[in-house]
Structure 1
């Protein structure tokens, strides 16, 4: 048995992103990469997500170039992998960005556990003035994908 590896057309990559909701987000600071698991909702070239203050948010604010990896494993033993190169864009609770924040929330809340990864921290977060919840988007600048299928 061999594995056949094929490139995926960008249109198919976008369809996969629209149907998945879990991925790994990579960001970088001072040449050091950092990867974190996220839930997201994909629409119109943007992967919408949510987080609380912390390392990931600090790093994305400092360097808006990020990467999202989404993987799907098939029951037949193959896999599909999509990589999004993008730009971090924050949607603060303000008049100028309120509609984008509301749009992000409306897409994310379609799944009951949308907030879990972004809100859970291994230690207590300090109490902040105002809402610490941060909605953001990864605006796609490039997308690529591959599929591995078992061939007999």
Structure 2
């Protein structure tokens, strides 16, 4: 059975996952990349080092974000939201980064792994923390209770 997720189910899925896919578009190119994130108060919070993703987000802050929970081919949930990218500064940046760390660190296998994987330790102070203010969203599911 295919169906639509209600608002509560959409929020629950966004709150319970930690990896989603961010889609951005700039100068005729579309780019989709997996990111670690947290959901809070109708927004997605994430971080990034400088690079293609940030260049594109700054050029066109209108984005989409997708997250899913897949049990198998016939049992899954998926949410897509659309929103606007915004860089965070000061206390707001610090609080968002702490939220990301607290959600992701318990999921790592070793204490040396961190939410800023792939980022040179010398560059960690230059990490950009951002929010995607959600404007709209939709969710779908497939479930077959007999499977």
Same fold (TM over 0.5): yes
Pairs aligned (count): 136
Asked if 1 retains the 8 angstrom alpha-carbon contact of 2:13 and 2:68, the reply is: no
Say whether 1:98 aligns with 2:90: yes
Flag structure 2 segments of 5+ consecutive residues without an equivalent: 106-113
How far does the alpha carbon of each residue in 1:81-130 deviate from its partner, in whole angstroms, 9 at most, with x for none? Answer: 00010100101xxxxx31210111121011223222xxx27xx8xx88x9
Question: Aligned Cα RMSD in Å?
Answer: 2.1
Pick aligned residue for 2:30 from 30, 33, 37: 33
Moved segments of 4+, more than 3 Å? none
User: Within 5 Å, which residues of 2 pair with 1:65-144?
Assistant: 65-74=62-71, 77-91=74-88, 97-110=89-102, 111-112=104-105, 113-116=114-117, 120=118, 131-144=125-138
Select between 74-83 and 6-15 the one with higher mean Cα deviation.
74-83
Flag structure 1 segments of 5+ consecutive residues without an equivalent: 92-96
TM-score (norm 2): 0.84
Distance in 2 (CA, whole Å) between partners of 1:44 and 1:56 is: 24
More helix by share: 2
